[in-house]
Amino acid sequence: MVTYKEVVEAVVELFRKAETELPEDVVEALRNAYEREDNEVARSILKAIIQNIDTARKLKVPMCQDTGIPIIFAEVGRELCLDFNLRDAIVEGVWRATKEVPLRPNAVHPLTRENPGTNVGMHIPHITFDIVDGDGLKLTVLPKGAGSENVSDLKMLLPSQVNQIERFVLEVVKNAGGKPCPPIVVGVGIGSTFDGAAKLAKKALLRNMTEMSEFELSLLEKINSLGIGPGGLGGKATALAVLVEMGHCHTASLPVAVNIQCWANRRASLFLR
């Protein structure tokens, strides 16, 4: 049995963790990038990022002033019985996290730019619900900064343009340059629908970065050969990882989405039962 209070508190704690402690696979990738780098400027930027991460964890403060837009994935066990509205509990958790962590109030009305100050508004927090086997509830938070989200892109390729996927991914990274605070993580969604490809690209960012396929590693190598480097000031580490998720698509389409994430690849999960 999962209670409303447990969900609210879990969401607050997940945001606290995601904002103050970068997952171990991300920290390891940053340390490896530092070891491999021989460009002095790039090394000093990576060193500053690693020190910043350590300080945020020790002092329990957010690692970046942009605490992101709240994105949540809820995997709901089909045998789980809830006597409350799960969305309401998650929304209250975000509202409380904004006050208690605290999170910067980033969510504004798209046209008036009016800010409710709570990170709660129309369709925000952005929540994806999935029904899965079991009797538990897995919650994952992915606070997403604007610097990287703003340079993400999507293209509806034709099925005959399958050999242009790689070129499009490289083009997006090249156009982004130093804006998304590299070294970046590149989430790629191939297939599905217009919106489905974007969702796949975002979901890809939740994966462990140390487990990349040959296709992903070869894309990573090509991205790093662009030489954008940490902070956009040149160097070997433009990206830390490329993570690709695929979905079947219409025979007449080939959607490709590229969701760029900054070095602050913040994510945290927990399981309630």
Distance in Å, CB of 74 to ligand SF4, minimum: 23
DSSP track, 64-118: SS---B-EEEEEEETT---SS-HHHHHHHHHHHHHHHTT-------TTT----SS
In the complex, the residues that contact ligand SF4 under the rule CB under 6 A are 64, 66, 68, 145, 147-148, 180-181, 262, 264
Distance in Å, CB of 249 to ligand SF4, minimum: 30
Which single residue brings its beta carbon nearest to ligand SF4?
Answer: 145
Comparing CB distances to ligand SF4, the nearer of 11 and 69 is 69
Distance in Å, CB of 125 to ligand SF4, minimum: 17
Distance in Å, CB of 120 to ligand SF4, minimum: 20
Residue 111 CB burial class (10 angstroms; 0-12, 13-18, ≥19): exposed
Rounded to the nearest angstrom, the gap between the alpha carbon of residue 185 and the centroid of all alpha carbons in its chain is 8
Comparing CB distances to ligand SF4, the nearer of 258 and 262 is 262
CB distance 168 to 224 below 8 Å? no
Distance in Å, CB of 264 to ligand SF4, minimum: 4
- What's the rounded Cα separation, in Å, for the pair 44 and 171? 27
Comparing CB distances to ligand SF4, the nearer of 181 and 241 is 181
Comparing CB distances to ligand SF4, the nearer of 144 and 203 is 144
* Cβ contacts of 47 within 8 Å, gap of 6 or more: 34
Comparing CB distances to ligand SF4, the nearer of 23 and 180 is 180
- What's the rounded Cα separation, in Å, for the pair 187 and 241? 8
Q: Taking the CB of residue 159, how many other CB atoms lie within 10 A of it?
A: 11
